[in-house]
A and B are shown apart, each in its own frame.
Chain A
Amino acid sequence: MADSMTVLRKAGPPGTKRNIAVLGDGFTAADQPAYNQWVDDTLIKGVFGHDYYSEDASAFNIYRVNLESVDSGASVRTYDEKGTVDPSDDTIASETIRNTALGIIFSGSWSHCWLEYGVDTETLLQAALNKWVPDANEILVVLNNPNYGGCGGNGRAHVPMGVNWSVIAHEFGHGIGGFADEYSVTGNYTGGEQGWINLTTITNRATTKWRQFIDPTTPLPTGVGSGANYNQGPRPATWSSNFDVGLFEGGGTSNTGIYRPVENCRMNGNTPEYCPVCYTSIKTNRDHETGHRFRGAHAGRFDGGVFSDLLLHHGTSIQLFQRSGAGFVHRFSGVERVPGSWQFQANDEIVVGDFNGDGADEVVIFNGVDWAIPYLGLLVSDGTGGLRLVARYDGDIPGWGGFARNDRFLRADLNGDGRDDLVVFNGDDWSMTYVGLLGSTGTGFYLTNRYDGDIPGWGGLARHDELFVGDLNNDGRDDLVIFNGQDWSMAYVGLFRAGPSGLTMTARYDGDIPGWGGLARNDRLILGDFDGDGRCDVFIFNGDDWSMPYLGMFRASGNGLAYVNRYDGDVPGWGGMARHDRFFAADIDGNGRCDLWAWNYQDWSEEYLGRMISSGAGLSASFIGDWVGEWNLGPPDAFEVARFTGKTGQPHLYVHNTDWFGVINGRRGYSLDRIYYRWIRDYRYGRNW
């Protein structure tokens, strides 16, 4: 076996990421599996499997260099320390020098940094880096030695194999985060205020360094005395030693005279997470390397609970946040790919649904743009809060005749088996328009029906057919509604029942649905069970084709649509419908009837968000303008219907744009339950902006 390099995490071009190079010393060819296992256990599953490093995994490239040593085991040197920690008078008591790739010598002596370089180590290390790693910001050298110890500094950490991941995470706190130690060893600090992020001498509430994270009711200082914990008044029962911030005496190895932010941070006890002060600093400084944005947000019950979790697709990485406790908790990051090999790209299209009927949502992902051929994949839970690929269709699924760039996928339980299936539509890439029905087995899909150019009775599938799904007859199967206002001499609506043999047209409306006053080119259909009878009904909005905007409500009767109501120019309480009104269907008030969120950012002097609550036969509206709590509504905002709290319905909107993510609560009016800037973190007190 020759020397080699493996990219363990390929987050992006090295100049845009933080690059960690891992090299081993004292590992023969036969030892390489042990070295690889240590790197996997300690760095990948350990450091990058926990809290900050897991959350921001997309900021890091990780290169593992396998260097083959002639001898097994690192060289060893023993010092006679003369009973003192001062190394200047130490002498070498014994040594065993081995022929290793980097020539590092392990001493096990604290005052000798546990190890030292041999005469050629720097040259050998530079040569290995230049040969194998395009760029390295942090170098981790692993010695084939079972002991504890380690020497860090200057962007490097050297460790024997007896070191666990939390020690390395602490060490990265120095090398990557620029943090000071928060533990106490000896003495009183007598210097002035220093540049450390996480240590201060300032005890004035108005000017102390991390004042934005300190609750006004927290006494300052909070802990007084040598390496003190909370001792200035009764410690609140809910106080978190890791996450509640105050001023605790002792830090930077000094017992007194200087203060740390929390009782126990990773920079103190290794095992706890970084405290809010350290976390916010490293997040801020590394954020530009993560590529994280809130643009690609998707709500789903990924953990099978009753609340909506959050999937963030960032282009070449994803993050999964579980709705938990006070807000969201990070559970998973997939960088570049997930196990099973789905490689994330900017033009991935995501469909969330329960494709295996287990009560939790899975992810169907399609990309017809970024690769040499289109791909369709199914990502399911990996059992530990993450996602893995269980099925991938490269270029085609048997029977569909080839995926193409403009294939569009909709989620629908077509056979009522509790597993969501897929409807695929393509009106652009072929000589005729195709619709396919893909049945789900829970671990993959298969084509059950294909409609080439027509579904019998529809009179021809056409390029601008718009497809919608919903259970129109309450038989447990999702049916299909098609609207086309572009391709024919008039606009058409078709209803198609899903059954064992495929789709059967139950009704076609040529130019009008009675009561609507004429289907028109820019009609927009929104499906939802607005009367709560178990049948999915249809709203139609048109803001373009008439002298005023219209909104109609049509009840699904089982085999057709029946007029229920029509609003000409306004829904009472909305203050006037306008051309660019947009609607999202959701049971906002949780009474089993589907309501509408209304959104308009184009037609008025400010942006408006409204609720249109269904009585079953009509709508009553209200609105809020410009701001919802601290959320400044704006053109870039996108919305996902969700349930953040409560027992029924989907009363929330996850609102998001590039930098901001919020939770709007519409259950009883309009309020903002959560707001996050740049990243999701529920601070105990304060926030990162």
Chain B
Amino acid sequence: MKKAKRTAAIRRDEKRPSKMAVPPEGADTPEAEIPTYRGPSKTDKMPKPTKGRRADQVKPPFESAKVRRPRKASKEVDFGDQQPRRIRAGGRSSAGREQYVRLRVRVRNGRLSIVDSHLVDGPLGQATGFPGGNAYEVTLGDRLLHAGALPDLGVQRSFPSAQGPPEQHGHYLTERSVYEFMARVPANEVTPDTIGKIAVRLHRVKEEAGADRIGDAPLGEQFEREMRPVAELVGLPDSALPEAIERRGGRTPNA
């Protein structure tokens, strides 16, 4: 039903009662039929506390004489950390917690290699935009596991020298022949069964790529126009298995 800009036909629910009409101005107001419900009526006295509802939970008496107005602090005070709720022992097992693997990937002459891997506690978010010159992705078959932007990969940029000669008023850019980047992948995706099939792919970003939500297809499919693959590595070393990383102490606890 749609409202219309006219005198409304009032919608009535005939199963319910109507209020009595408002008497004309100056006339005595007759007593209304008051809706009644189950339950006690109020008196002028306080009822006894209900037995069932937290019957033992009574506040200690309030002694107004003992209340002190707070004094104005003479200096800024730090009240310290608030007390976190305790997590029940065993409530969050190490096996069940979210983690991701941070892969240190080296690029040399267009070839990728895994130099190191690290385990990080916590969830892994997915970027939605890929600004700058490059992006990486980690895939398993046709499924995107994670992707990230690499805005200034492989570049060395000296800061401008405003006091120097004119040619030094910009950056001195050097393209590095060997460089590294970090790729990330959810730890639960890296298993003995998958580790040989997981691919790390480096893309050149031709123009700014992004979406409200990144799907689970490889970047090359989602951003066919904007990205071009430039290097690929298929299969991660066993040392990148989360268990192996944990064994060698390759996890930095979150502060």
A186→B151 contact, CB < 8 A: no
Chain A residues whose C-beta falls within 8 Å of the C-beta of B158 in the assembled complex: 110-114, 149-151
Knowing A132-B252, A490-B34, A570-B10, say if A448 contacts B64 (CB, 8 Å): yes
A489→B37 contact, CB < 8 A: yes
Q: Within 8 Å of chain A (Cβ to Cβ): is B143?
A: no
B67→A398 contact, CB < 8 A: yes
Report the Cα distance A444→B80, complex, angstroms: 17
Chain B residues whose C-beta falls within 8 Å of the C-beta of A5 in the assembled complex: 255
A150→B59 contact, CB < 8 A: no
Q: Which of these binds chain A: B11-19, B192-200, B229-237?
A: B11-19
B50→A489 contact, CB < 8 A: no
B121→A134 contact, CB < 8 A: yes
Q: Mark A1-45, 1 if CB is under 8 A from B, else 0.
A: 000010100100111110000000000000000000000000000
Knowing A154-B179, A517-B19, A576-B10, say if A175 contacts B39 (CB, 8 Å): no
Report the Cα distance A277→B53, complex, angstroms: 60
Q: Within 8 Å of chain B (Cβ to Cβ): is A566?
A: yes
A183→B169 contact, CB < 8 A: yes
Q: Within 8 Å of chain A (Cβ to Cβ): is B89?
A: no
B123→A13 contact, CB < 8 A: yes
Chain B residues whose C-beta falls within 8 Å of the C-beta of A135 in the assembled complex: 102, 118, 120, 182, 184
Knowing A14-B254, A85-B167, A154-B154, say if A285 contacts B128 (CB, 8 Å): yes
B69→A134 contact, CB < 8 A: no
A449→B64 contact, CB < 8 A: yes
Residues of A26-82 contacting chain B, CB below 8 A: 63
A547→B58 contact, CB < 8 A: no
Q: Within 8 Å of chain A (Cβ to Cβ): is B125?
A: yes
Q: Mark B138-162, 1 if CB is under 8 A from A, else 0.
A: 0000000000011111111111110
Knowing A153-B157, A285-B131, A623-B3, say if A460 contacts B69 (CB, 8 Å): no
Knowing A186-B166, A371-B83, A460-B46, say if A430 contacts B3 (CB, 8 Å): no
Partner of B168, one of A110, A442, A520: A110
B54→A441 contact, CB < 8 A: no
Interface footprint category on B: 35 or more
Knowing A134-B120, A401-B60, A521-B35, say if A431 contacts B53 (CB, 8 Å): yes
Chain A residues whose C-beta falls within 8 Å of the C-beta of B92 in the assembled complex: none
Q: Which of these binds chain B: A91-99, A326-334, A506-514?
A: A506-514
Q: Within 8 Å of chain B (Cβ to Cβ): is A487?
A: yes
Report the Cα distance A430→B129, complex, angstroms: 51
> Of B16, B39, B79, B126, which is in contact with the most chain A CB atoms at under 10 Å from its CB?
B79
Chain A residues whose C-beta falls within 8 Å of the C-beta of B12 in the assembled complex: 547-548, 569
Report the Cα distance A7→B81, complex, angstroms: 14
Report the Cα distance A447→B41, complex, angstroms: 31
Q: Within 8 Å of chain B (Cβ to Cβ): is A641?
A: no
Chain A: minimal CB distance from B80 (Å) = 6
Report the Cα distance A175→B151, complex, angstroms: 6
Chain B residues whose C-beta falls within 8 Å of the C-beta of A515 in the assembled complex: 22, 29
Q: Which of these binds chain B: A232-240, A302-310, A311-319, A384-392?
A: A384-392
Report the Cα distance A389→B208, complex, angstroms: 42
Knowing A7-B255, A518-B35, say if A197 contacts B3 (CB, 8 Å): no
Q: Within 8 Å of chain B (Cβ to Cβ): is A568?
A: yes
B44→A459 contact, CB < 8 A: yes
Report the Cα distance A463→B52, complex, angstroms: 13
Chain B residues whose C-beta falls within 8 Å of the C-beta of A466 in the assembled complex: none
Partner of B124, one of A15, A521, A578: A15
Knowing A110-B161, A175-B151, A575-B6, say if A452 contacts B59 (CB, 8 Å): yes
Q: Within 8 Å of chain B (Cβ to Cβ): is A215?
A: no
Chain B residues whose C-beta falls within 8 Å of the C-beta of A195 in the assembled complex: 133, 205-208, 226
Report the Cα distance A48→B46, complex, angstroms: 57
Total A-B contacts with CB atoms under 8 angstroms apart: 385
Chain A: minimal CB distance from B134 (Å) = 9
Chain B: minimal CB distance from A501 (Å) = 10
Count of chain A residues near B, Cβ 8 A: 142
Knowing A110-B161, A340-B77, A569-B12, say if A575 contacts B4 (CB, 8 Å): yes
Q: Within 8 Å of chain B (Cβ to Cβ): is A432?
A: yes
B6→A517 contact, CB < 8 A: no
A177→B131 contact, CB < 8 A: yes
Chain B: minimal CB distance from A9 (Å) = 11
Q: Within 8 Å of chain B (Cβ to Cβ): is A434?
A: yes
Chain A: minimal CB distance from B142 (Å) = 24
Partner of A490, one of B37, B47, B77, B152: B37
B152→A155 contact, CB < 8 A: yes
Knowing A284-B210, A288-B128, A569-B12, say if A444 contacts B35 (CB, 8 Å): no
A548→B18 contact, CB < 8 A: yes
A178→B159 contact, CB < 8 A: no
Chain B: minimal CB distance from A240 (Å) = 24
Report the Cα distance A444→B19, complex, angstroms: 47
Q: Within 8 Å of chain A (Cβ to Cβ): is B5?
A: yes
Q: Which of these binds chain B: A217-225, A603-611, A628-636, A645-653?
A: A603-611
Chain B: minimal CB distance from A418 (Å) = 16
Q: Within 8 Å of chain B (Cβ to Cβ): is A591?
A: no
Q: Within 8 Å of chain A (Cβ to Cβ): is B84?
A: yes
Report the Cα distance A370→B87, complex, angstroms: 12
Q: Within 8 Å of chain B (Cβ to Cβ): is A185?
A: yes
A152→B152 contact, CB < 8 A: yes
Q: Within 8 Å of chain A (Cβ to Cβ): is B247?
A: no
Q: Within 8 Å of chain A (Cβ to Cβ): is B93?
A: no
Known: A110-B172, A154-B179. 18 other contacts (CB 8 A): A85-B168, A110-B161, A111-B158, A131-B252, A134-B254, A148-B159, A155-B151, A163-B159, A341-B78, A342-B79, A448-B64, A449-B64, A452-B62, A488-B41, A489-B41, A520-B35, A566-B22, A575-B6
Q: List 16 A-B contacts (CB under 8 A).
A: A110-B161, A114-B158, A150-B159, A153-B157, A186-B167, A284-B129, A285-B149, A371-B84, A401-B59, A459-B43, A460-B45, A489-B38, A489-B39, A545-B16, A578-B11, A604-B2
Top 8 nearest A-B pairs (CB, nearest first) are A178-B132, A401-B59, A178-B131, A569-B10, A517-B19, A13-B122, A285-B129, A444-B70
